[in-house]
Amino acid sequence: MPNKGAVMGVLHQLIIDSVSPDELRAQRVEVMRRIREKTGRHVLILAADPTKPAPFGPGSMLHTEDIPFFEELLSSTPRDADADVVIHSSGGLAEAAEQLSRMAKAHFREVRFVVPTLAQSAATILALSGHRLMMGPYASLGPIDPQFLQPNGTTVPAQALTEGVKKILGTSRKGRLNPGYIPMLQRVSPADLQAAQDATMLSTRLVTDSLTTGMLAGRADAEATASATAEALCSHARWLSHGRLITADQLRELGLPVEEYSDDGVAEDYNELSSLLVVTMQSNIIKLYETETVDMAKRLNLVSPPGILPDPRAANNANIDLECAKCHGKIPLQLRFADDVQLEPGRVPFPDSGKLKCPHCNADMDVKGVRQQLETQLHKKAVKWPTQEESAS
């Protein structure tokens, strides 16, 4: 039975102690050192916070932009050693997962991916690509069925797209298409259908090949189990949602030899590291890349750290000079934490929706992560600005 109390105790203590970023880093280094001394494995961390979407660019998603940072992590560790690559990610590009896996396996003798909490979508592809996989007591992977971005900003499963078209065509009688389906089919080109099929094939092929030569290598049923597992994980019809959480027990039912922290005697160490990462990400960090000697982070694109105004109401007001990632224009936002705070001249009210349109180039921006960071730092909830009608009354 997982020792939930120990995990929650560490996390609770870190939060109430208000540990500084430098102290958190020092504690993570100490935990990584302990794990290395116990297991002989060097620890690398690749963590991302999907709750902080960047205004532009890949944000927290697993992306080819991670490659040079991961290369830096590899260069800080000895070649041909054994490694634990810690992942926390909601996914991204399958192609990026493939390249990061290649890099790790070319550098290390044996690669064990460690998932303390979450590795979904492309991050699941990465987690399954090593020689071994170890998961935390409540950790989960996710389905690997590809998702297609729609013009309205939503995503749809590639398999749902292809199956939907098949269903429409199948309901047509005597070679005549129901006119009601024509507008829907006009939005799906043959290229879209082919891309959806190719993306599905890529996901299953990457996992099948990785499992055959990695976690299942040497087993008589390696190829058959790998193929069946990849097909199961890529089945939208099976999971129904791309966000489903797939547990270690479910993975074992598919035939995968998933390990637990206790198998290597590092349960307390990885529980502590997981708690440290949770608290560390309660900042403006979007991505964190770490080893014992390397510490790099991708942060929200602020011109300067959010500043608290130097007046008696300081704790109730914050100015944020945000830089538009598209035109690099400065946007002077103001966030308030009390009803009596007035908007300063030249400042823009922080949007309650978290959606902002750049006044310089009209680009759409998502600034929810900035507000989350400030609320975390001040331990307060932001207060809405009054609408123009409310202000007039």
**Per-residue pLDDT at 184:** 56
Between 34 and 196, name the one with better pLDDT: 34
Lowest-confidence region among 41-45, 91-95, 109-113: 91-95
Please give the domain boundaries of the chain with CATH numbers for all domains. Answer: 4-142+245-299 (3.90.226), 145-218+228-238 (no CATH), 307-392 (no CATH)
Q: Decide if pLDDT at 134 tops 60.
A: yes
Task: Please say whether the beta carbons of 283 and 373 come within 8 A.
Answer: yes
Average pLDDT over residues 156-177: 64
**Per-residue pLDDT at 263:** 85
**Per-residue pLDDT at 189:** 60
**Per-residue pLDDT at 294:** 96
Q: How confident is the model at residue 17 (pLDDT cuts 50, 70, 90)?
A: low
Lowest-confidence region among 94-98, 209-213, 341-345: 341-345
Task: Please say whether the beta carbons of 286 and 60 come within 8 A.
Answer: yes
Q: Decide if pLDDT at 279 tops 80.
A: yes
Q: How confident is the model at residue 306 (pLDDT cuts 50, 70, 90)?
A: very low
Name, of 9-13, 314-318, 343-347, 369-373, the range with top average pLDDT. Answer: 343-347
Q: What global pTM score does this model have?
A: 0.72
Query: What pLDDT, in 10s, does the model give residues 39-84?
Result: 999 999 999 998 876 655 678 899 999 999 999 999 999 999 999 9
Name, of 134-143, 169-178, 185-194, 195-204, the range with top average pLDDT. Answer: 134-143
Q: How confident is the model at residue 87 (pLDDT cuts 50, 70, 90)?
A: very high
| Whole-number percent of the chain with pLDDT over 90 | 47
Q: Decide if pLDDT at 201 tops 50.
A: yes
Q: How confident is the model at residue 160 (pLDDT cuts 50, 70, 90)?
A: low
Between 330 and 245, name the one with better pLDDT: 245
Lowest-confidence region among 13-17, 100-104, 136-140, 343-347: 13-17
User: What is d(CA 45, CA 37) in angstroms, rounded to the nearest whole number?
Assistant: 17
Task: Please say whether the beta carbons of 119 and 138 come within 8 A.
Answer: no
**Per-residue pLDDT at 388:** 64
Instruction: Output 235-242 pairs: Cβ under 8 A, ≥24 positions apart.
Output: 235/143, 235/145, 235/159, 236/143, 236/145, 236/157, 236/159, 236/160, 236/163, 237/159, 237/163, 238/143, 239/143, 239/145, 241/143, 242/120, 242/121, 242/142, 242/143, 242/145, 242/147, 242/155, 242/157
**Per-residue pLDDT at 10:** 66
User: What is d(CA 66, CA 45) in angstroms, rounded to the nearest whole number?
Assistant: 12
Q: Decide if pLDDT at 278 tops 70.
A: yes
Chain mean pLDDT for the chain:
83
Structure tokens at 197: 């099929």
Name the one residue in this structure whose structure tokens are 């997982």: 2
**Per-residue pLDDT at 376:** 62
Q: Is 24 left (phi over 0), alpha (psi -120 to 50) or beta?
A: alpha
Average pLDDT over residues 136-154: 78
**Per-residue pLDDT at 163:** 64
Between 150 and 330, name the one with better pLDDT: 330
CA angle in degrees (0–180, nearest 5) for 47-49-50: 130
| Whole-number percent of the chain with pLDDT over 70 | 75
